[in-house]
Amino acid sequence: MSEDMIKEYMEAYVSETEEHLQNLNDSLLELEKNPSDTESINQIFRSAHTLKSSSAAMGFLKISGLAHAM
């Protein structure tokens, strides 16, 4: 794999991860306000699952394991 391709994958991973972490934060804050909000729970699950998968694909197994535990 070329250096440029690795850089592109890393940039995409970081951008996507930042978005999912923000989404997790927002959803957790919403869930704190309304504990029965199933959409927030579903959004937390989706973001954590995507973080787990994308981290594993990039070889970041500790991050993937953490997301799996969430």
Please report how the helices 38-58 and 3-33 are oriented relative to each other, as an axis angle in degrees rounded to 10. Answer: 160
Helix (H, G, I), strand (E, B) or coil at 9: helix
Distance CA 28, CA 6 (A): 32
* pLDDT string in tens for the chain (70-residue length): 789 899 999 999 999 999 999 999 999 999 999 999 999 999 999 999 999 999 999 999 999 999 999 8
**Class of residue 49 by CB neighbours under 10 A (exposed 0-12, middle 13-18, buried 19+):** middle
What's the whole-model pTM score?
0.84
The pLDDT of residue 29: 97
